[in-house]
Structure 1
């Protein structure tokens, strides 16, 4: 057939360039059809030799076309072509063979034609959640929530009209069903994949194990839904075997490595969560799958690879449940050049639902930050070359089997020793440079302290990294050309790339003053064994434009929902932080869906107006400790104490625990146990108290008598010395803005709302939120905090009167 009947001229021009780049060898393309059935988009999936090319298709969708050329000009399919075409055809994917002149092609298998979008019926889907609908029929505790059906209708419009939706859904609205029902129906009706991204593991598990099965029952949907995890969650057969070979002489039967190996022989998923113990992080990091060491289809275990198996599973699903970090990993790859038409970390998708969307900025900022420490350097060096009880191992040792004796290879052990020494010096000098501070931002013109304490030793490390990179690169020249596709060579090249990336990081850090859009800083961390070390970090100053380009401009529909997206019923702050204000305003719809809970009768917001101000130091701390003790005596436990400082948390905990023990009240403290176990213990012990900070301001779901008192000890303003906050404050000041009103205050209000939201998780819940920071009533900005909350009863009195009112509210008639 003549190509012009099925390929657009633009596509043929692109394919001509691809063939030139491949020196007219075989190329495999993935093509997409337009509504007229013409191939209107192509992307290169693989390149091969004069006679063959890998058939890569895990991430292709129904309606796509796999195209590859036969340089001979003969368009007759081989037996391998027919086998691949059969496999693809059964998934609705076409298979074409084309000549190098791009004039003729042969359609071995036709793709399934893409259907036009089938719009969702808002009223029909809303009825599922309405009285007399499917939810009432299958739920014993059904309650009609008008705000839930209203939210569902808005999300339907988002899918139907290709909109960006920002929806604040108060606690108890039931936002999961409001977005899951439209997502399932859209994926089923239109055969278009929807990604649901969350911030927390708990919510991911709830969605995949509880909410989606129930939503499928309500809708009758048969769409496949898969929980997608990052590759580090999976064991790597190749790395595990390497560790077993290296350590086989030293393993006892109960050794954790041996236990992991035995488990890997019978595991269906290879996922870390399947293990019946929690392996040490240093061990797991040596045996888990990592992109740096993955040789892909060159790996002898490729067919049985757990990561590839999980990706194939994802490619066959209509709903993918992921976390924000994994989603941003996928988006970063697409932005770096892979594009949006083929698979990256995730298979192709066109629509995203962000749950817990208030976390997007922090998640994106964290992901797009770069970091380096002596331990990250040591980890890479250990993969390259290491000695264990006199036995050499690592990629450099294995590559010697291909090169034979090689002078450059022989230099590697000494070069690694040099790098380790330079990394230790950098860590030590930068710790002196940072002093007693656990974080320090690098800014201004380099002075003598910065030069000697940081830049010079980092330059020395960079030189050694480059020498090792060069020695490894020279080693490659000694490898026979026929070994280019050997997995060992591929892995060795990955090590070289990583060495070069570390060198580039050092180069960028040493020239920090040239990068005004980035924040350069140092953070002091502690290992599990208690060893302090310095971590060097480069963070983007602003992710708004990045988000707009990578997300809002790329996908047909983006749904963002959370219980906290507004400040005083206004979305402006959140929109500006994540780049929604840069999008086409005609595509963006924002709406607030109030909580159905009766806060006016079931929640008391109490503020003692005689509390010292936080800046009063010791008297403020003494007051917090004393008043918390009195409040816990009144509530008899069942309380969550939220702090902004871990130091204050520990001190108040140590002050109160003996007295709580005497009262028979169990005191739990964040950090003393795994988060999940800690929350389960707190939830199951109705008279317990949990002392927490930071992440516990959200994600704590404890209905009933286990939580009837939430104490917010201090308004959650971010520490002003945080390097990234400092840089963002300065950026606002440079353009003449007010950083307190534009950044610090709205950010604190949103976190404050999250803390308040821990109290009521069910309609039947009842309790008190006690605020011990009198700024909320004494400062002009305090009204912004209070007016952003649901309409609870309020009491602002002297401390003693507040305690009596709390007692009366909890136990009075």
Structure 2
């Protein structure tokens, strides 16, 4: 244990440049706990606040286990920015420290999946198609599968007429939907130039600096199912996805993302854990772990609709000659099935739709009215027709055909899911979110604990060619488990021997019941925040709504009944307070709305009120989130307005963000998946609906509330105000949440110990900070 702490101290000193620096107390404890879990096959669920140093606390034990015992670790993050920070900043420092202590330098690599890296075969084929269609002459040498040829193609793409030229702008469709010409040309040119680089990450989607409209990236990449294979591909020797996978297979620490884990959890395919090419892992580290169960549920969701069948019909027509009798019959059959699906689902919705037009499906309900077998048979027919084209020497056609086959297979699988009752899966029908006149049948996993345990936290024991196990027998745990209890064995005939990986799950916000949600044998442990002093110097403002004027503004339809806050009226009430707070702060604010409609209104009013004084940015300005946040950080008096997507991951320590406003508690609207989670909680915990509702809806909202409020304090020097403009958080007054719910929400704000319900106290606090910032500005500039 002493060596792991020595390496941690060395890593801290290397990154700070201070020879006497020491690790923070919470960081030390978390490192010890991670080391303990990795020394066996234990589980850790850590509520580790911002600034604790989670990356070092997990990477130091992982790399030291690699150096001392040859053990490998899979680290998963939620976002590309966190992956980049690990690969480019944190892991190199830890590797230096471990090498200094042991003489062994651990290797690390990122693995994002096959389709996240450009396929040079697809790039070359589509670039040639685009250039030929545009009438640009291409030398014979540039049609050869070489890096030099791709470099020539990149230069030739500059000659293609696109928007902004004297000729008509052109929109290109390379099989994944229309893409503006300028965007397609820029992407193909970038991907072609990446072929000349030695690092496969240069062809990574996350490295692309330009705009990526829908369908664009799919034109320069392929999935493993769509890949024509190393034996056929003329670019095999320079294949960026293959090189990225090889590098990951050779690494001691592999950094991936939650979406990769989610695909494995929902399909049971060995995407990472148990993947023979990537090799054996002994440990898993999950950062931002509170988001993983939700990502797994989203990855496992599916739907059946007339639109989906019609899309497959259109794809078949674009690939094959409709003069062929078999093709014509398939096209006709698909059109009929689409109409029948729309009619059957529409009839079900009209007969039994509940709030929001949703029909919850029971164990015996078939939303497709017996059409499932016909749809699956038709999908198999489409797959059989298209399969011969997967060997087409014209690469774009072969890739498109492979995608069609995969879509047909996916349709069959999803038909079974939406028509068949299964434990832990919610099924329902509702109007399409894009077209209220189009009904859809949907399904989504609800309880994902057993899926995570069976596919990620345990894996089949690997054996070498001589039959020797490649993992220590002390890690063996027996066959898979089932239900929502990892201690319940599955009786499905599966008898493979499995082994347990150590799991360290950490996040700045973790629900108390996270272990049960994620299939971990661990209770959540809280680690102390290193920014306690900063939080104590900040102010939490929650306005009171006690007088008749406020009640009338917030509850215009009360008419003698108990006052009930109306969200539409709340927007106007909150907007006035937001303007006063932003005025006092001199900008430097992040405004977070519970709904997009409210957020747009706040942005509109702020722009009108403060025109010419400071810049108001919003997530509806048509720019990428990264570019928007970068501009907000750079302009320290600007205001950024957004909704849920900005409540997590938005980071701007210092003067840029001295005011964070949440208009109201970001509780999700009632929906079939979370309603099913409520019912599951009622059954498993034997509680009433109100308690189960708090466990699901209220807990989820409190986690998002804590994340959003945490945008204010990102360093020890940060000061400011968090304003939650929801008077129901206060116990006094006619508007208040039920006491158990109110306590959960206030618990998410517990770090802010100095509080007020008076607007003038909040504006005075902001004005003082603004004055101090202005006074310090000349000194910083000098």
TM-score (normalised: structure 1) = 0.70
Query: Where do residues 315-330 of structure 1 align in structure 2 (5 Å cutoff)?
Result: 315-330=249-264
Question: 1:674-725, CA deviations, whole angstroms, 9 ceiling, x for partnerless residues?
Answer: 00001101111111111111121110110111000111211122212x2211
**SS of match in other structure, 2:106:** coil
Question: 1:535-555, CA deviations, whole angstroms, 9 ceiling, x for partnerless residues?
Answer: 653201211222222233444
Q: Which residue of 1 aligns with 2:468?
A: none
**SS of match in other structure, 2:57:** helix
Deviation of the 1:446 alpha carbon: 11
Q: Which residue of 1 aligns with 2:709?
A: 756
Q: Which residue of 1 aligns with 2:453?
A: 548
The counterpart of 2:330, out of the listed 392, 415, 429, is 415
Q: Which residue of 1 aligns with 2:729?
A: 776
- Does residue 651 of the first structure (1) align with residue 578 of the second (2)? no
The counterpart of 2:78, out of the listed 194, 199, 203, is 199
What is the distance in 2 between the residues matched to 1:236 and 1:811?
54
The structure with more strand, counted as a fraction of residues: 1
- Does residue 562 of the first structure (1) align with residue 516 of the second (2)? no
- Does residue 607 of the first structure (1) align with residue 542 of the second (2)? yes
Q: Which residue of 2 aligns with 1:96?
A: none
Deviation of the 1:761 alpha carbon: 0.6
Question: 1:419-473, CA deviations, whole angstroms, 9 ceiling, x for partnerless residues?
Answer: 25754775698689879999754324699xx99xx735x939x636623623654
Q: Which residue of 2 aligns with 1:365?
A: 297
Question: 1:145-172, CA deviations, whole angstroms, 9 ceiling, x for partnerless residues?
Answer: 2211221122111212321111111121
Farther off after superposition, 642-651 or 425-434:
425-434
**SS of match in other structure, 1:787:** helix
Q: Which residue of 2 aligns with 1:50?
A: none
What is the distance in 1 between the residues matched to 2:762 and 2:190?
57
What is the distance in 1 between the residues matched to 2:310 and 2:231?
26
Query: Where do residues 160-179 of structure 1 align in structure 2 (5 Å cutoff)?
Result: 160-179=39-58
Q: Which residue of 2 aligns with 1:38?
A: none
Q: Which residue of 2 aligns with 1:228?
A: 111
Q: Structure 1: which 5+ runs fail to align?
A: 1-118, 387-393, 398-406
* RMSD (CA atoms): 4.0
Question: 1:474-520, CA deviations, whole angstroms, 9 ceiling, x for partnerless residues?
Answer: 898x99xx99xx999999788556424413423543x3567673333
The counterpart of 1:214, out of the listed 93, 97, 104, is 93
Farther off after superposition, 413-422 or 314-323:
413-422
Q: Which residue of 2 aligns with 1:466?
A: 377
Q: Which residue of 1 aligns with 2:573?
A: 623
**SS of match in other structure, 1:173:** coil
What is the distance in 2 between the residues matched to 1:139 and 1:533?
63
What is the distance in 2 between the residues matched to 1:704 and 1:490?
48
- The 8 Å contact of residues 645 and 693 in structure 1, kept in 2 or not, is answered as yes
**SS of match in other structure, 2:47:** strand
- The 8 Å contact of residues 713 and 772 in structure 1, kept in 2 or not, is answered as yes
Deviation of the 1:210 alpha carbon: 1.5
Q: Which residue of 1 aligns with 2:614?
A: 664
Q: Structure 2: which 5+ runs fail to align?
A: 136-158, 161-180, 460-499, 555-563, 732-736, 774-782
Deviation of the 1:365 alpha carbon: 1.0
- The 8 Å contact of residues 124 and 192 in structure 2, kept in 1 or not, is answered as no
- Does residue 307 of the first structure (1) align with residue 219 of the second (2)? no
- The 8 Å contact of residues 717 and 745 in structure 1, kept in 2 or not, is answered as yes
- The 8 Å contact of residues 298 and 487 in structure 1, kept in 2 or not, is answered as no
- Does residue 282 of the first structure (1) align with residue 215 of the second (2)? yes
What is the distance in 2 between the residues matched to 1:666 and 1:471?
51
Q: Which residue of 1 aligns with 2:283?
A: 351
- The 8 Å contact of residues 607 and 802 in structure 1, kept in 2 or not, is answered as no
- Does residue 795 of the first structure (1) align with residue 707 of the second (2)? no
Deviation of the 1:359 alpha carbon: 0.7
Q: Which has the higher contact order (CA 8 A, sep 6+)?
A: 2
Farther off after superposition, 611-620 or 320-329:
611-620
The counterpart of 1:718, out of the listed 651, 668, 674, is 668
- The 8 Å contact of residues 316 and 382 in structure 2, kept in 1 or not, is answered as no
CA radius of gyration, larger in: 1
Q: Which residue of 2 aligns with 1:635?
A: 585
Farther off after superposition, 262-271 or 426-435:
426-435
What is the distance in 2 between the residues matched to 1:141 and 1:431?
70
- The 8 Å contact of residues 273 and 455 in structure 2, kept in 1 or not, is answered as no
User: Against the structure 1 CA distance between its residues 432 and 615, is the aligned structure 2 distance closer, same or farther, given a 3 Å change threshold?
Assistant: farther
- Does residue 127 of the first structure (1) align with residue 9 of the second (2)? yes
